[in-house]
Amino acid sequence: MGLEVPRELPQDHFCPWREEAEELKAEVGRIGGELDTLKGQMAALLRHVFGRKAEKLPPVAEELKARQDSPEKQRARAAAALQTRRARAARKADAAVEREVRHEVPAGDRHCPACGSEELKPLGEGRRTVVYEHVPAFFEKQVHVQEVLACTCGRGVVTAPAPPKVVDKGEYGPGLLAHVVVSKCADAMPLHRLAQRMERGGVPMSRSTLTDLFHQAASVARPLAAHLLGCIASSEVVWADETPLRVLDVKKTRRGYLWTFLTQTPQGEWLIGYRFSLGRAGKTPTDVLGGTTGALVVDGYTGYNAVTLPEGRTRVGCWAHLRRRFFEALPTAPQAREAMDLILELYRVEAQARDRGVVGTAAHRELRQESSAPILARLSTWLAAQAPRHPPKSPLGQALSYATRQWDALTRFVEDERLPLDNNRSEAALRKAALGRKNFLFVGHEAAGENLAGLYALVATCEANGVNPEAYLADVLLRVQTHPHSRIGELLPHEWKRRQTTDPPQAHLLPPP
């Protein structure tokens, strides 16, 4: 039985009912938004505990496997694979010290299995088999004896020069200091664990002594780390990011931050710098990049506004951050998949540029304007249509809001071929720091954080450019103290690598006989 409303009653008679209905509708909408937020938080928690903690872009090759490659692409892919195999073989040939182990035929078998004759002669150079074996590393105690010559006149004495040392009157060589730095900065090994390993190797060592050696190396290398940051700041395109790093305090720890700033030289070499601070405010970006111009590739954190507004660097957004937000919204809003697919189309365009070999050229910019710009227009239309349909605090609502706020920064790559789509390079530069944070938990004080940042920079730049950081540090820790400051850039890892073809190796770097 339905309730019929008399038409002759005045409409104002039902206003209280309409107001109550509107209030109930608003309350339902609010509760629905809170429910979507809670569902998103629950999905994120479940993924954090039981599933993958981060969304990874699938390889473009998998996305394009349904499309038939042209013969030109197939030949290019085969040539690239051949070059990769040859490079890998060359690295294997130079990776380890080669030692030939001769295996002679036993005396009881030195006769012909056919006729029984014992007159056998070598057949060629023998059968060769390559076996990679582990020889335990060792430490040696070097006793340096300086020759002293005296003249027969009894007045003149000549003494051989003393061996070079990183620290005056120190008893630890540059190779050992380099090993300590690389073990902590590249291998994320706590110093107390390294001290135990050195004890097993026959070197009496304590954690406090290793800590002193680490900070002494940082003090010697500080001019190099500072010059490296200066080179990065003077570049046109800079990537930046930050991560927490605990600092020891009275009865507890407090939060500090490790910042990374990196760039790529015109020759394709990567320069990676770090800076430690006790806060996350914009002071650190200002200290490093203040007064410089160019582009800054970062996420949406407002701490970088100090160097991008009003007359600083041009801010460039990160599509990987945006896609990650849509990925987190998938459990409560399946329509977020459409946005992820459109973002994947942008990466497909970049893959085409790599296949054509035009990355960073005018042809790359033309390809972006031809292919990426229409994708951005479709995504912009989708964002405008979806924004009114989702509560602002829901996971998808937050992703839509982030995309709207960052739209100008996200789309600048279309007009500049030098700009990347994402900030993944700087995130990758912080992975070693994140691993170290899990192993050695915190730094002792602010100065220790600054020393760690400086050595992190040199080691990371070495690894990014194919330089052995242990050999590099063992060499430059001696050179930097006497090298002219006006030419300090010659000792940066990428420049040091170029000079290795002409400069002879140091005596302490040669393998033992």
- The per-residue DSSP string of 145-210 comes to ---EEE-TTSS-EEEPPPPP-SSTT-SS-HHHHHHHHHHHHTT---HHHHHHHHHHTT----HHHH
Give mean pLDDT, residues 109-123. 85
The reported pLDDT for the residue numbered 414 is 96
Evaluate whether residue 394 is within a structural domain: yes
* pLDDT class of 101 with cuts at 50, 70, 90: confident
* pLDDT class of 480 with cuts at 50, 70, 90: very high
Evaluate whether residue 358 is within a structural domain: yes
Evaluate whether residue 331 is within a structural domain: yes
Indicate whether 50 pLDDT > 80: no
Q: Which two tokens stand for residue 104?
A: 């002679």
Indicate whether 12 pLDDT > 70: no
Show the 3-state SS of 409-439: HHCHHHHCCCCCCCCHHHHHHCHHHHHHHHH
The reported pLDDT for the residue numbered 252 is 86
Token pair 């937050």 is found at 398
442 in Cβ contact with 452 (< 8 Å): no
Indicate whether 318 pLDDT > 90: yes
Give mean pLDDT, residues 372-393. 93
CA 217 and chain centroid, separation: 23
* pLDDT class of 73 with cuts at 50, 70, 90: low
DSSP designation for 280: -
Radius of gyration of the chain (CA): 32
* pLDDT class of 353 with cuts at 50, 70, 90: very high
Number of domains the chain contains: 1
The reported pLDDT for the residue numbered 451 is 96
The reported pLDDT for the residue numbered 364 is 96
Evaluate whether residue 351 is within a structural domain: yes
Indicate whether 372 pLDDT > 80: yes
Domain extent, residue 366, equals: 318-419
Most confident of 27-31, 112-116, 463-467: 463-467
Evaluate whether residue 403 is within a structural domain: yes
Indicate whether 42 pLDDT > 90: no
Indicate whether 54 pLDDT > 70: no
| CB-count burial class (<10 Å; 0-12, 13-18, 19+) for 204 | exposed
Pairing verdict, β 237-249 and 252-264: antiparallel
Pairing verdict, β 157-159 and 314-316: unpaired
32-36, 45-49, 389-393 — which is least confidently predicted? 45-49
Indicate whether 92 pLDDT > 80: no
DSSP-H helix ranges across 201-335: 207-233, 283-289, 305-308, 319-329
Sign of the Cα torsion 432, 433, 438, 441 reads positive
Residue 434's CB is within 10 A of a number of other CB atoms, namely 14
Concatenate the DSSP letters of all residues of 79-101 into one string. Answer: HHHHHHHHHHHHHHHHHS-----
Concatenate the DSSP letters of all residues of 20-79 into one string. Answer: HHHHHHHHHHHHHHHHHHHHHHHHHHHHHHHS-SS--PPPHHHHTTTSPPPHHHHHHHHH
The residues facing 149 across adjacent strands are 158
Evaluate whether residue 363 is within a structural domain: yes
Give residue-wise pLDDT tens across range 411-429: 999 999 999 999 999 999 9
64 vs 353: which has the higher pLDDT: 353
Evaluate whether residue 414 is within a structural domain: yes
The reported pLDDT for the residue numbered 30 is 74
Evaluate whether residue 413 is within a structural domain: yes
Give residue-wise pLDDT tens across range 240-269: 999 999 999 888 889 999 999 999 999 999
Q: From residue 230, how far is each of 41, 273, 290, 292 by CA, in Å?
A: 42, 9, 11, 11
37 vs 429: which has the higher pLDDT: 429
The reported pLDDT for the residue numbered 9 is 47
The reported pLDDT for the residue numbered 508 is 44
119-128, 180-189, 275-284, 341-350 — which is least confidently predicted? 119-128
State the average pLDDT for the chain. Answer: 85
The reported pLDDT for the residue numbered 48 is 65
Give residue-wise pLDDT tens across range 140-189: 888 889 889 898 888 889 999 888 888 877 788 899 999 999 999 999 99
DSSP designation for 335: T
pTM of the model: 0.79
* pLDDT class of 18 with cuts at 50, 70, 90: confident
CA atoms of 234 and 438, how far apart (whole Å): 33
373 vs 81: which has the higher pLDDT: 373
50-54, 90-94, 458-462, 496-500 — which is least confidently predicted? 50-54
The reported pLDDT for the residue numbered 124 is 82
Residue 288's CB is within 10 A of a number of other CB atoms, namely 20
